[in-house]
Amino acid sequence: MTIPNRFVMAPMTRSFCPDGLPGDDVVGYYERRVEGGTGLITTEAIGTDHPASVGDTGLGETNLPVFRDPQAITAWRKVVDAVHAKGGHIIPQLWHQGPMRMPDGKTPAFSPSGHYGDPAKADISYIEMARIIAAEPMPVPSDEEIADVVAGFGRAARDAVAAGFDGLAIHGAHGYLVDAFLWGETNRRSAPWGGNSVERTRFAVELVKTCRAAIGEDRPLFFRFSQWKQQDFRAKLGETPQELEAILGPIADAGVDLFDSSVRFFNTPAFPEHGDLSLAGWAKKLTGKLSGVVGGIGLRNGKYDTDNAVSQASNNLGLVLRRFEAGEFDIASVGRAILHDPQWVNKARNGDPLPAFDPASVGILT
- What are the residue numbers of the active site? 176
CA distances from residue 75 to 55, 70, 78, 81, 164 in whole angstroms, order as listed: 20, 9, 6, 10, 11
Specify burial of residue 18 (Cβ count, 10 A radius: 0-12, 13-18, 19+): exposed
Q: Which amino acid is at 116?
A: Y
Asked whether the beta carbons of 175 and 117 are under 8 A apart, the reply is yes
Is residue 94 classed as helix, strand or coil in its secondary structure? strand
Helix (H) or strand (E) holding 47: strand 40-47
Tell me, what DSSP letter sits at residue 348? H
Cα separation, 209 vs 214, in Å, equals: 9
Residue 224 CB coordination number (10 Å): 27
Q: Which amino acid is at 280?
A: A
266, 16, 32, 160 alpha-carbon torsion, rounded to 10°: 80
Cα separation, 66 vs 94, in Å, equals: 9
Q: Helix axis angle, 279-287 relative to 241-253, nearest 10°?
A: 60
Residue 59 CB coordination number (10 Å): 12
Cα separation, 87 vs 84, in Å, equals: 5
